[in-house]
Structure 1
Amino acid sequence: MLLTIVVFVLMLGLLVFAHELGHYWTARKLGVKAEEFGFGLPPRMFGWKKVNGKRKIFWGNKDVDELKSEDTVWSINWLPLGGFVKIKGEDGENKENDSFAKQKPWKRIVILSAGVFMNFILSMVLLAIVFMLGAPQIVETERARETVVDPKIQILQVMPDSPAEAAGVKMGDVIVDINDQVFSTTEETSEYITTHRQDEIVLTVLRYGSEEQEDLTITPTVDTEGDQKIGVALIKSGIVKYPWYEAIWLGIKSTVLMTGAILIAFWTIIKNLFIGMPAGLEVSGPVGIAVMTGQAARMGLVYILQFTALLSINLAILNFLPFPALDGGRVLFVIIEKIRRKPMNQKIENVIHTIGFVFLIVLLLVVTGKDIFRSLF
């Protein structure tokens, strides 16, 4: 439980930090003041700010305007859940030259989109690290640039009502040997099973989550061509490592492919909701994500990095939906302003974003309640 909490907090912190860093860095580059960059959520524990070239540390929720400095406040906050960046004029209340509200539409769109962009970059970096460290993959043919660690023959599928199913073979089992003979390829394994004439074969397997080998005795069937069958599909898998330059490309490629798959899943959910069909996919909130984080943590660092990359892509896509209170919703209002050629009524826009925020909180509570119900029952 403690491991799950620690990994979940660190993972959430990284995702939100990357997102907010995108807003912060872009705002500064475009001449917009970032008033505060916070690690965690308020109330503030302590912070620091440059005053006359020297770093000034202060405690609690002190009014930083008293420090008379235009530099950004960096703060550590009590709730260790992500972070935030406070940009001057982000709610349209300030029209000074270094205010967000004063900027041209294209600058505001760039600043609003930068957080999403950083989440995609984070996913690419994390997946590149995964490919360098080595990720579990199906090994079809070994290429010169690949390094395959711990290759093994695994059961991909067990056919219903087959001899293998009757003997207790399960999907994911690792074949250690057959009749005390070790094989290095799926072709060799299949050929031995097909052509070895014997009433019974003994399959020694290593089951996922177990360190003990298990001997399974299987009585093959013979097809019309005289070949023996036990009713399994085989794959060769292993930990595949790539050189850094190829890992970077694979990180980018995987992020693009995962983004496409997630967009298709979102479209399926939305389409099914409109036509009155079940969504067809389970939606998880913080509790469900925390449970999956714990599962990834128990499997190892590579799985944590992969899961974090997946969440980063999800966060990017969700945040860019054209819904009030989200970055995508704010971008939509800027585009509407550009089309109308006059600013939106700021009070009305703020009310709409507030309503959107309340709706998202209610939705989050509903999904969290479903997560808790699923975990209990």
Structure 2
Amino acid sequence: MNIVLGILLTIIVFFVVVMIHEFGHFITARMTGMKVLEFGFGIPPKIKKIFTDKKGTDFTFNALPFGGFVRIDGEDFSKPSAFADGAFMSKSLPKRLLVLVAGVVMNLVLAWAIFTGMFLVGAKPLTVIPMDIGPTHSFFLPSFEESLESGFIKRSNVTIEPLEDSIAQKSGLRENDEIISVNGQKIVDTDDLVEIIAKNKNLDFEILRDGEIQKIAVHPENGKIGTKIFYKSLELNQDFSKKTGIIDAMQLGAGETYHTSMLTFKLVKKTLGALFFPKDDAERTAAQKNLSGPIGMGNAFVMMIEQALPISVILLFVALLSINLAVMNILPFPALDGGRMLFTTLYSIGKTLGFSREKILKGEQIINSLGFILLLIFMIYVAGIDIFRLLQ
């Protein structure tokens, strides 16, 4: 596929995911009686007003096709109309919070719909998460241990390579012996073997050597026998999949949306923590490698299209992109939906405690402005990493 077409499709995907987010804000603003001034397709500068609907909302076409926006009456606190009937701030706290969180909800609904569809037609995991963050509980993004348990990763038996003149070698164990059991306990993974060696003074090994099963007695010293332990082979099970009926698919899709969102939170927390508060330079470097913004994700999507990967993989990428957008937006940082929800709540608390409206809103505007600047700097930093990675 032509690289230009790949880039075009990437822009379309980003546009659709963001517009679904914005549609959540739009539809809930309408439902709660707020006046929506503008629904913008793309990012300004404005090119053309497409039409104005019966409720006075301008639908506009803008120059930068990387998303869109919804402009609700009363979001600009400096204007006298900010608290007029139908304005954002004129509504109750629950209604304002509903409008602010609706974009995130719509992104999660999109991911759920894609996951549900995947389970209906036959879902396959996308990849194995290499980072040490514990179980992910995600079918599409399992941890290494979960992949082994589910059968997504196929491996050989635990295999050994005795060290020269070690107890293992002197007892009769040989290189590439596959361990079936020890003292009658089936050896599933390397941890099983290490644990049973450490806890027992007498070991009866059942091994597979040259296609034949043999038994060998070994007597450890200080919980050790002197051998390397490994898997001779590890490979993905290409036939591994899960296909269900509609009800189960919907339930699995909901669970997958939740667990993938939690996984994304973990990865964001781990990456940002290592980036800003690293234990050492190596940890910061590793965090930078894991960091990726729209440019990096766009490049990954273009590569998927160029490699003619199955449509299911591309749809899963869209679902993960949608969840990433939801997670990033719900963070309680100024200029993001989560930050606006926090300040909207604090505003109501402040009013209840008797603080003046002007002081509260002035403080929010200052913090939002500083937050927006910091967010912009961070986005430029991430874009720089993505561009440098592309040039390499």
Report if TM-score (shorter chain) is over 0.5.
Answer: yes
Deviations 1:29-51 (A, max 9, x none): 11101111111112233333347
1:374 partnered with 2:389 = yes
Deviations 1:282-303 (A, max 9, x none): 1101221112112333312111
Cα distance change, pair 115–155 in 1 and its aligned pair in 2 (3 A): closer
- Counterpart-to-counterpart distance in 1, 2:337 and 2:238: 44
SS at match of 1:237: coil
1:222 partnered with 2:210 = yes
- Counterpart-to-counterpart distance in 1, 2:112 and 2:44: 30
Aligned pairs for 1:263-282 (under 5 A) are: 263-272=265-274, 276-277=278-279, 278=283, 280-281=286-287, 282=290
Residue of structure 1 equivalent to 2:233? 232
- Counterpart-to-counterpart distance in 2, 1:300 and 1:40: 29
- Unaligned 5+ segments in structure 2 are 127-150, 161-179, 181-207, 216-230
Deviations 1:47-71 (A, max 9, x none): 33347x6xxxxxxxxxxxxxxxx52
- Confirm or deny: 8 A CA contact 2:24 2:106 kept in the other structure: yes
Residue of structure 1 equivalent to 2:264? 262
- Confirm or deny: 8 A CA contact 1:296 1:307 kept in the other structure: no
Q: For the aligned residues, what is the CA RMSD?
A: 3.2
- The offset of 1:246, in angstroms, is 2.5
Aligned pairs for 1:1-377 (under 5 A) are: 1-50=3-52, 70-92=55-77, 93=79, 94-137=82-125, 156-157=154-155, 222=210, 225-226=213-214, 231-233=232-234, 235=237, 237-238=239-240, 240-272=242-274, 276-277=278-279, 278=283, 280-281=286-287, 282-297=290-305, 298-341=308-351, 342=355, 343=357, 344-377=359-392
The farther-off stretch of 31-40 and 270-279 is 270-279
- Confirm or deny: 8 A CA contact 2:34 2:86 kept in the other structure: yes
- The offset of 1:225, in angstroms, is 2.6
Deviations 1:325-370 (A, max 9, x none): 1111111112212222243532332222122112111111111111
Deviations 1:98-147 (A, max 9, x none): 00022222221111111111111111012112223333259xxxxxxxxx
SS at match of 1:21: helix
- Counterpart-to-counterpart distance in 2, 1:134 and 1:276: 41
- Counterpart-to-counterpart distance in 2, 1:275 and 1:9: 34
2:232 partner amino acid? G
TM-score computed with the length of structure 1 as normaliser:
0.68
- Confirm or deny: 8 A CA contact 2:49 2:60 kept in the other structure: yes
TM-score computed with the length of structure 2 as normaliser:
0.66
2:271 partner amino acid? I
Higher fraction of strand: 1
- Counterpart-to-counterpart distance in 2, 1:360 and 1:155: 39
- The offset of 1:238, in angstroms, is 4.3
Cα distance change, pair 158–77 in 1 and its aligned pair in 2 (3 A): farther
- Counterpart-to-counterpart distance in 1, 2:211 and 2:277: 47
- Confirm or deny: 8 A CA contact 1:320 1:329 kept in the other structure: yes
Cα distance change, pair 88–249 in 1 and its aligned pair in 2 (3 A): same
Deviations 1:239-264 (A, max 9, x none): 54433332222211111111121122
Aligned length in residues:
290
The farther-off stretch of 79-88 and 288-297 is 288-297
- Counterpart-to-counterpart distance in 2, 1:160 and 1:373: 41
Cα distance change, pair 321–50 in 1 and its aligned pair in 2 (3 A): closer
SS at match of 2:124: strand
